[in-house]
Each structure stands twice: as C-alpha cells, then as structure tokens.
Amino acid sequence: MTTDFKSIPIIDVGPIVAKGDDLKMGQDPSVREVIKQLDQACRETGFFYVKGHGVPQSLMNEVKDVTHKFFHLPLSEKLKIKMTPNTGYRGYQKIKENITKGVPDLQEAIDYYREVKRGMYGSLGEILEGCNQWPNEPANFKASMEEYIRLCTDLSRKIMRGIALALGGSADELEGEKGGDPFWVVRLIGYPGNPAAIPQNNDIGCGTHTDYGLLTLINQDDRITALEVKNLSGEWVPATPIPGTFVCNIGDMLKIWSNGTYEATLHRVINNSLKYRVCVAYFYEPNFDTLVEPLEMCVEKSGGARLNQKAVYGEHLVNKVKNNFVP
C-alpha cells in the first residue's frame, strides 16, 4: 500500500542491468541492495526514478525530439497516420480524442502496440490486429523509436526480474507463461502549453488513473514538471524531471500478481507551463493471453488472504482501449 510519501525515490538499477540475465543474480550483494530498494518503492510509492539504466541519454533525447517535431507538423500531415478501429487502434489522435474516465484529455498522441498478426490471439486480440503506422517525417522517426523500444523492453525485463526476487520468487518467476513473451505499448504524448497557467478542469492533460500492465518507463520533457502522483493522504506529489532518468511506476497487473502487496498508484498530468510538453511512455506488459491472478507465494506471505481480483491481460487492455477513445 502506498504511504504519505512526500517525494519519489531514486534507484540506481545499474547492478540489475549488469546481472539481469543471470538466474543467480540475487546472490550478488549489489543486486540485493537494489532489490531491497525496489521492494520498498513498490510498497510505499508505486513510483520511482530509475538511473544507471543503460539507455543512452542521446537516444532518450532523440525520441523526445522527433516526437516534438511530429506534433508540430501541420494537422493534415499528422492525420496521414490517424488512429481508427481499422488500424488496430494504432496511430495519431487529435487533442481531446483520448478519454480518461469519461473526460477528454488535453493531449494529442500516437499509439504503438506490439504488432499482432491475424489470428495470433484468436478473438481476444482481434481488434488490435495490424501493423504500426510510422510517419514519413521526421526521417529518423521509425529507426529511433524501434531501437528505443528494443532497449526499453530489455531494461523492463531486467527490472521485473529484480521485482520477482523482491516478492520472494526466483528471477524468472514472472516469465515463461506469465511474461516470457511480453506485450508492450508505446504512447507518444503531446501536451499543449497553458497560456493562462491556471489549472482548470478542462486543463487536465491526462486525468487521474492507474496504468494497465506491469511496469511503465516515462521519458518526460526535462523542462516541465507536469506529472503528479497521489499519496495516501490525497496529496499530489510532483514527479519533477531529473535529466537522464526514467520515472518508473507499476501497474494493475503487478498489483494482482503481488496479491496487493504492491499498489498501482494514481497519477495525472497537468501542464501549467507556457511550453508544449512531450512524454514518451513505454509500457511493459505480461503475455497478452495470460491469466493474471495472485501468486501463491504472495498469498502465503499475506497469511492466506487473497486479493479478489484476476484478469486476462489482453482482455483487460482491450476493454480499456474500447473505452478510452472518442469514436
């Protein structure tokens, strides 16, 4: 359960990045220290900054730069990759076409999903079948994003191995049929500046929500503080940008697997800056068709009390997709 935290912890995951492919990684003293910090952060805040992650700063900056450039193209250009049900819900959304809990968000975005071939997940994955849509401009957009997604996938897998150890399992506890073939989602988001710089209900860049899956890596604009995290007392704690870090948070599926030991924390985005803000959000997920329910080892550690939640991840995602966009 989250606490009345006043700040978000910073974790150097370098030891896990270095040892993350080793099933005996938990025996390394430096890794054990990171596992301890991950456990505390997942229990107390659900959010933490990640440094020592190994993703080049130049690439983190490049994907934000091409995102900025795309969103500043004429609308006619952006609409060439417009999201529709026929595109498998991949592509560009105009401002206020994304909805959080029934309220349009003051943002524009491009959505990418791990590509789903026809029949890959039967009827479960049918609405997400298709290929990602890549713009022609900027010219380096696709290559930069594909390399970035590759590195974020590997980093997330290694962090999840540390979290598996923190829960008391083996390093590969959440792989195999659970997460050995992980789904992923990438959302590139642009938040217009607020000339009035006064928060109003219609100024919410993204409404209060939790994330759907396991782990989110947020590569946010270094110049603007807009992401806020809610603590147990209902206070909004700013996730002030720290250059070179990701803001990492856990999602609904990890809450279920951990039997509620780890909480998916509410957060929102309000851009009260005069400047246009971008965010490159990478979401690391379980296998699309896996049934997520409390792990027995977590139930035992809770004295037998079982969280009354379970979900097929892909079904959970599809239900969100159906309700999050203006038709």
- pLDDT tens-digit profile of 261-292? 999 999 999 998 989 999 999 999 999 999 99
- The identity of residue 12, as a single letter, is D
- What dotted CATH number matches 10-325? 2.60.120.330
How many other β-carbons are positioned within 10 Å of the β-carbon of residue 276? Answer: 15
Residue ranges covered by each domain of the chain? 10-325
* Mean per-residue pLDDT, 49-56: 98
Report helix, strand or coil for 167: coil
Q: How confident is the model at residue 1, as a pLDDT?
A: 66
* Mean per-residue pLDDT, 188-208: 76
- Cα distances from 100 to residues 10, 186, 250, in angstroms, run 28, 17, 18
- Sorted by sequence, the CB contacts under 8 Å of residue 196 that are 6+ apart come out as 203
CA 214, 217, 219: angle at the middle one, nearest 5?
Answer: 160
The residue count for the chain: 327
Q: How confident is the model at residue 283, as a pLDDT?
A: 98
pLDDT tens for each residue of 70-107: 999 999 999 999 999 999 999 999 999 998 888 889 99
Determine the Cα–Cα distance for residues 92 and 83; give it in Å rounded to an integer. Answer: 5
Phi/psi of residue 70, nearest 5 degrees: -65, -50
Write down the number of H helices and E strands in the chain. 9, 16
Q: How confident is the model at residue 321, as a pLDDT?
A: 87
Q: How confident is the model at residue 141, as a pLDDT?
A: 97
Q: How confident is the model at residue 11, as a pLDDT?
A: 98
Burial per residue of 214-223, b for 16 or more beta-carbon CB atoms within 10 angstroms, e otherwise: bbbbbbbbee
Q: How confident is the model at residue 195, as a pLDDT?
A: 67
* Mean per-residue pLDDT, 145-150: 98
The yes-or-no verdict on residue 327 having pLDDT over 70 is no
Q: Which residues pair with 300 in a beta bridge?
A: none
Q: Which residues pair with 281 in a beta bridge?
A: 187, 218
- Cα distances from 218 to residues 114, 171, 184, 198, in angstroms, run 18, 24, 14, 25
Q: How confident is the model at residue 201, as a pLDDT?
A: 46
Q: What is the overall mean pLDDT for the chain? A: 93
The yes-or-no verdict on residue 203 having pLDDT over 90 is no
DSSP 8-state secondary structure symbol assigned to residue 4: -
Phi/psi of residue 316, nearest 5 degrees: -60, -45
The yes-or-no verdict on residue 10 having pLDDT over 70 is yes
Q: How confident is the model at residue 196, as a pLDDT?
A: 57
Q: Which residues pair with 291 in a beta bridge?
A: 312
* First-to-last C-alpha distance (Å) of the chain: 36
CB 2 within 8 A of CB 46: yes
CB 8 within 8 A of CB 248: no
The yes-or-no verdict on residue 181 having pLDDT over 80 is yes
